[in-house]
Amino acid sequence: MIAAINGAIDDISRAMRLHRVWIALAHEDIGDQHRRTTLGPLWLLVNYVAFVGTFVFVFQPAGKDATGYAAYVSIGLLVWFYLMEVMSASVSLFQREESFIEGTTLPLFVYVMRLALQSVIRAGYAIMGCVAILVLSGTPVTSPWLWSLAGLLLILLVTPALITVFAFLGAFFPDSQFIVGNLLRVGMFFTPVFWVYNGQDGIQKYAYHWNPFTYFLEIVRLPIMNGELPAHAFTVTIIVSLAAWVIALLLLGRYRKQIVFLI
């Protein structure tokens, strides 16, 4: 196990030294996805705002303040869409990068960071929309927002680990890209993205307390919405993040040289 972790760290360190490569590739990906469009990457902002508006209009609970619910949904969708895109895109990562993997000697982690940076850039447009909605809804800017920033940074830190785990999952089990996609679509309704948990019993109770995605949402949402430090949510997300990194290092260290035979 120690040898696997050392091999993974070596692959990561070599990829970090090649940061100009994956930065350039990520920017090229974003440009290619919106080439010849009028708004370009601004479509990412438009799509996010449209989703928030639709969810607020359709799912706003009766008697609940519309502006407060808009802030609640905007933060929930920001985090959920980011995590969903990272995981769903990661499952087919090594298949998409097959020509590079077979034709170059780049560290495998280069492709992980390429997707990670691409996801961060895309999320940046959603963050602009989220901040605008929070300001327009009258949400006061207070010092607890710094805890939300810390929550976002924690999510960014675990992103490469999630990508690595799901990329190897897709390499070992090609059908998992369909399984993961379906589970994420269903999982959105079992995660408090747009529904509010107020101590209800039944399925919502278990979906709230036993769903790890809940805590990734809460470390960003609760400091802004309630002005509080969600210590329990941070504890859970840190534990999940550390576990993800351990699994990612073991997979990367043990199978990085065999991946060419799996794709």
| Tokens coding 233 | 């949510």
C-alpha–C-alpha distance, residues 119 and 159, integer Å: 9
Residue 179 reports pLDDT greater than 90: yes
Confidence of residue 64 (pLDDT cuts 50, 70, 90): low
C-alpha–C-alpha distance, residues 99 and 260, integer Å: 10
Beta carbons within 10 angstroms of residue 43's beta carbon? 14
Question: Are the C-beta atoms of 144 and 225 separated by less than 8 Å?
Answer: no
- Classified as helix, coil or strand, 237 is helix
Sign of the CA dihedral 72, 77, 80, 86?
A: negative
Task: Tell me the C-alpha to C-alpha distance, in Å, between residue 40 and each of 24, 34, 120, 139, 206.
Answer: 18, 5, 17, 30, 41
Q: pTM of this prediction?
A: 0.92
Q: Which residue has the higher pLDDT, 114 or 138?
A: 114
Q: Which residue has the higher pLDDT, 250 or 27?
A: 250
Confidence of residue 260 (pLDDT cuts 50, 70, 90): confident
Residue 219 reports pLDDT greater than 90: yes
pLDDT of residue 29: 84
pLDDT of residue 66: 63
For the stretch 227-254, pLDDT in tens is 889 999 999 999 999 999 999 999 999 9
pLDDT of residue 91: 95
Range 198-222 burial, b when 16+ CB lie within 10 A, else e: eeeeeebeebbeeeebbbbbbbbbb
Q: Which residue has the higher pLDDT, 94 or 36?
A: 94
For the stretch 189-212, pLDDT in tens is 999 998 888 878 888 889 899 999
pLDDT of residue 105: 83
Confidence of residue 23 (pLDDT cuts 50, 70, 90): very high
| Tokens coding 26 | 């990520």
Domain ranges of the chain: 2-27+41-262
Please provide the average confidence, as pLDDT, over all residues in the chain: 89
C-alpha–C-alpha distance, residues 97 and 160, integer Å: 16
Phi-psi region of 202 (alpha: psi -120 to 50; beta: other; left: phi over 0): left
pLDDT of residue 6: 84
Task: Tell me the C-alpha to C-alpha distance, in Å, between residue 247 and each of 41, 170, 254.
Answer: 34, 15, 11
Residue 130 reports pLDDT greater than 80: yes
C-alpha–C-alpha distance, residues 73 and 195, integer Å: 8
